[in-house]
Structures are given as C-alpha cells and as structure tokens.
Structure 1
Amino acid sequence: MANVTLDGVTKRYEDVTAVDDMNMEIGDGEFVTFVGPSGCGKSTTMETIAGLTKPTEGHVYIGERDVTNLPPKDRGIAMVFQNIALFPHMDVYDNISFGLRIRNHEKSDIDRRVEEAAEIVQLDGMMHRMPEEMSGGQRQRVAIARALVREPDVFLMDEPLANLDAKLRVHMRTELQRLHRRLDTTIIYVTHDQAEAMTMSDRIAVINAGKLQQIAPPLTCYNEPANRFVAGFIGSPSMNFVDAEVTNDGLESENFTIEFDPSTTDGLAPGDRVTVGVRPEDVYLERTADGVEHPTGLIDARTDVLEPMGNEVFVYLVTGDDTETSMEIEGGATTDDQLLMSVDPDTRIDVDEDVEVVLDRSRIHLFDYETGDALRHGLVDIASAGSGTPERGVGDSD
C-alpha cells in the first residue's frame, strides 16, 4: 500500500490544457474517486499517475518515490480499464496469471496468487472457462483478479463498470466496496457516474476543465459544495439556482424574497448579486411543510411537469407569470422562473395546479455571482423577529 501525491501536475497538448496545476494527496489505503463531466481531465490525471502520460509540469509521488519519469511497470500500480480486454483464446486461469508468467514467477507462487484473487472476486470453479462463456460481470471480475495478482501498491480503475447494465453496475459497486475493505489498499477510481462516486468513495475529487474543484468526503461535497459547479454536478437531479440581490433584510430574487441578516456573512453588502442554490428535496409544498423549522415565506407557483420515480415524484414548478418553460441544462435544473421540487409519491398533486411552496432556509446555499465560489451554507440568521409563521413573499422568523 502507498499514498499518492500530485504536486503541481499539468498536462498540455499544444494549445489545450487537459490537467491544470493539479495538487492532491491521496492517503494510504484510501478509496478516492475522480468524477466530472466528459473531457474534464479525470482520465488524463489517472494516466499521469499510471505513467501512461508524462506531465508537462509537476511531479507524481507514490509512497516516498518520485515516479514522474518511471515507466508503468516500475510504479507498483495495477490498472482495470473500461474495456475489459481479456485474451479470448485463454481461459480464466491463464488470463489472470498471464502477467505473472511473463515475469517468470515460480509456478507455486502463481498458483497461490491466482487462487487468492479468485476467492476474493468469487471466481471459484471458473478457472477453466473461456471469456465467451462468461457474463459481463464475471469477465469484469476476471479483469480485477488479473490486477489483484500483481499485489500492487495502488489500484487504478478507469470506468470499469461503464459497459455493464444498470443492475450489474449496482452489484459490482457493492463488490468493489467489499474488495476495498478486504484488501485495505489504495484505490483511485475514475467515473462520470456520481452514484458510483458517492456510494463507494472515502473522498471524491470533483474535476472540471482540468482543475480540481473540491476533494472531500461525498456528503461534504453534497451538503457543503465548494462552488456552484460542484453544487450543480453532485446530486441528481441538480440543485436549483436562482439569481438574487442582497438587500438590508436578506435576498430578493425576481419572484420571491428570503429574509436573513447579510451582516452574518463576510463580504456581503446590500446591492451585491449572488446565486441562491436549493436542492429539490428542500423545496416543500406549504401544506406538507409542518416539519420545516426554518421555512421561507410562501412562494406562488404552478405545476408544469410531474415525473413519478417510484420512491418520489419530481415536480417542475413555474414561479413567474410566464407560462412558457425552457429548462436550463448546463449548471442546474432550473431557470430563475422555475423550481424543481421532490415530493412523496403519495402526495396528491396535479399538472397545471396552483400551489404554494416554501424553501428550507437551513439548506439554502449562497454562491458568488461572478466566481461561483460558495459564500454560505444555510440561512438561519434573520434581521428581525416575527411570529414564526410563513408570510407571503418574505421569510419567517426563528
């Protein structure tokens, strides 16, 4: 096992910067997932750690060794790729043992390692099967076992579940978590699937445009995103974003106000522009909001689209006077005239119904309008006392 350190790693391809000044410390035995949209630089970062790509600037350390200029075979790493790439003419035993055989390991050592790896990934009794006789999940386990027998310091996994069906991906996520607990070794995992990142990782590294946006435990990225990009990328469906202006008493957007004390947030002053973020599960129908301790004032809305998901229903709300809708895809679920709300599947609600909703102020996020950096998570401080009952268009008191 070993820790992995990236020190100012940058990778440029002519006029394209794929990885930009990446600094990261991955602890010994930690499971860290690189997550981000396609083309963000997560695979290039992994390839740099593996030695498949040489950085333009910076250094890569595995343990105490500077491995920046070492070939992959000397780095103490093993990789599992999206393309399983088993040898079709070899059975399971030969596929798993191939790397050891070409390195001239003793037969007894090869047998021991293959047997141990097969037991870990539950391939007992399949040693003489050919790849074409196996399911996708079984072939993926063979690829993992092939990496295990190397007994590496670091496992690198580049979207190994991407080609599996949805049910099998869920199963393999569980298998990988068990594998990590059993081996207690360092695993670096690349995916664009945030469900994989959230469920398996000790920490996730959110990457965009080659830059590290945040590296933290999954729930920290979800509840305390470092910036608007992380807030919009982590969580499905995405966070609602609404532009607002700071006033003496709080925030005023085009269609509603939120009362709190701006002086409790450093750098905020009346007239400043901010972006307000709130997740769909923190938007409530007024008639079901009894358990919300810090509700905003009532917001008039009309239901536009309902999406039953089984365990919940997503409700798209129009909060402005316009009846036309145009969902913004990049960066969030809604525009300033729209909100996405999640409700219990037993909630009685219809399309084109006039409703009143409130937001949970303790779960509202503020982001800098220009940079997108997080300013505050939770707005429970208010400027004035009141009755504690939501009023139309303004926040309640505590």
Structure 2
Amino acid sequence: MVTAAAPRRRVSLLGATGSVGRATVDLIERHADLFDVEAVVGGGDADALAGIAVRLGARVAVVADAAKGGALARALEGSGVEAAAGPSAVIDAASRPVDWTMAAISGAAGLSPTIAAVRRGGVIALANKECLVCAGVAFMREVARAGATLLPVDSEHNALLQALGGQGLDAVETMTLTASGGPFRSWSAERIAAARPEDALKHPTWSMGAKITIDSATLMNKGLELIEAHHLFAIGQNRFDVVVHPQSVIHGLVTFRDGAVTAGLASPDMRVPIAHTLGFPKRISTPAARLDLARIGALTFEAPDLQRFPALRLAREALAAGDGAATVLNAANEVAVALFLSRRIGFGDIPAIVAETLDRAEAIGLSRAPATVEDALALDSEARAIASERLPEAEFRAH
C-alpha cells in the first residue's frame, strides 16, 4: 500500500530578513519538500531579501522601503522572482492566498500587513506582539471574523499553548511567563541608568533584533508579552505572572485548578516555536540543541525587581487601565528605544518617557479604546508625537 504524500503548504514570510525571518528561512530550506514560498517581505536590505527569495524560489519579493525598489529589481534580474517595493506592495503581498503566513515585521509597522494576512484567512504565525498590544480587541475580532488560525511564535506564548495540552482555559488557574532578566539582571540601579547601547545589546541567552533586545534589557518585552498573552488566551490579567529564569530553559508554565503544573521547556532557539507553528498540527524536525538537564545542573528563579526595572510595572499598569493605554505604552516605548539606540537619550530615560507619555495621554483624554485597527494606528501616531515632545530635555541629560 502506497501512502499519499502530504500536500505541500504554500507560505509567505513577512519580515524575512529579521532574526525570526532568517530562522524561518532555515527551517523551510531544511524541509523544502513540504513548502512552496509565495512571498517574502523585508524592510530595507534589498540584497539580503533577494538572496532569500532566490534560495526559497519565492514568486514575489517585496521591500518595504520604496527607495530600495530599484536595488531589489536589479538583484533579482533574471531570477524569475517578481520584485515590488513600498507599503502598498507589502499589503498586496500579505494578501496573497497562502496556507500559512509568518508575521514577523517588527513594531507597529507590522500591524497593517498582518491584518491584511488575517483578513485573507489561513494560519497566521504571530511573531509581532505589537499587533495585540496596539490593537488587541480589534485584532482578535478580525481573526474571528476571518476564521483565521492564530498561532503564537514568541517562545513564551508558544510554550503556554503547548503546555495547555488541549485543555480548556476554564481548567487554568494561572499562566506564568518566564524572563531571562536580560543583561542587567544583577546590575545596580545606578549602573543600569548609565548603561550604553552596546551594554544593553549583549543579551545573555537569545540572539534577537536590536529593538527587542533593548526591550529585554528594560523588561518592557515581558510587559508587552503579558498584554499579548491576555488577548491570546482570553483570561483575566490577574491570572498571569512573570518569573525571572536566567537559564531560559522553561519558557512558560500553566497551573491548573487542581494544582498540577505543566511547563514548556526547550533550548533558547527560536526555531523550536517557529517549527511548531510551521508544521502545526504535526511536528517537523529542527537542528536546535536538545536539552541536557544533567549538564545544565540547576534551574533558578527569582521575582522581577520592579524598582530597577520599572518598564514591567508600567506595562502591568497599562494593561489594568485598559482602553488605549497599551497602544500609548507601545508607541512611546518604540520612540524611546529608537532614541536610546541612536544615543540621543540615556537608558533610564526609556521608562521615563513611557511614563510621561502615558500620563500626558490620560490628561488630554487621548487614551481612548481603539475600536478598529485603523483607530489603533491613529492613536499610535498621536502617542508617538507626545513621546517625541519630551526629547529636548532627555537629550540634554544624555549629554
């Protein structure tokens, strides 16, 4: 008896040149017999995007930066891969009919393309947490309306999904996200305040893009993940917790009503959660290092220090405040992180700018609840303007 081969899955990669995108490319290349690539989308690195498109045999490659369109077209000349550029081309690529989409365009810039993919339906592997932070209620409403399947790629949320083991959420008492603690876990408050970009970019366990690495250093990343988890799993915010776990072996824990706890464990390699979504509901192999607990020897845990890392507290407060507070939080944080990376403000100014932007937005009645994705994008723009107003004073202190 001959068993029929599984049908090939047609996929698109939004954010193909970033760290998550490159990890996804690696898995697709390792399982080339399972996937056909429709579209690859990148930000501004035309040469890297062209190389990925050719290697994967993509039908179309799109660079978001319209000014890089000519460079992409030249790099793809004679390859048979269609080239396009600009924001509208990104939306068109995200809207192409596929079975599976990796949504890995970072920041609020990824919201519109991801929504375009959601509205088309299929499986959305969500690596852009800002979609749920900026527009959680509206985003999940679009997912339900389109009948799309949303699978989390963040290692923590993916671990929680797997730790659930198919149990209903009514059986869950609490969910716990783990945090590595970042590069400053053991630093004093004074030393943290004086940290430079090169210090903050030295993550002890993960290899990630610059923005998310800075968010890990402030612990804002864990705060954004709490907000994301609230929307993904639809349980109350008081049923989520965070614990610092420096080894980054346990990524998430689910405590059930009977006291039993299940945990998602894996080496700190993004190919593990990506593979879970890429093959879902089946499993595909990865080259990730297998856990050797005897060699690791000990797993340690500690409570997060909200005095040294106020960004996590700000995120919790934004989640509790509801309405548009999380949208404002994310917008202000993106502005502040970009300023820090360009050395225009100090590390301690990041949470300060976020806090002041939240206060200002509330004072002028700006923190309204976004009813639609378009509302969320408008609020995001207004919050960025408020955050930028604080720049001159911060720049003065940074120098």
TM-score range, shorter chain: under 0.3
TM-score for the superposition, normalised by structure 1: 0.27
TM-score for the superposition, normalised by structure 2: 0.27
More helix by share: 2
Bigger radius of gyration, 1 or 2? 1
More strand by share: 1
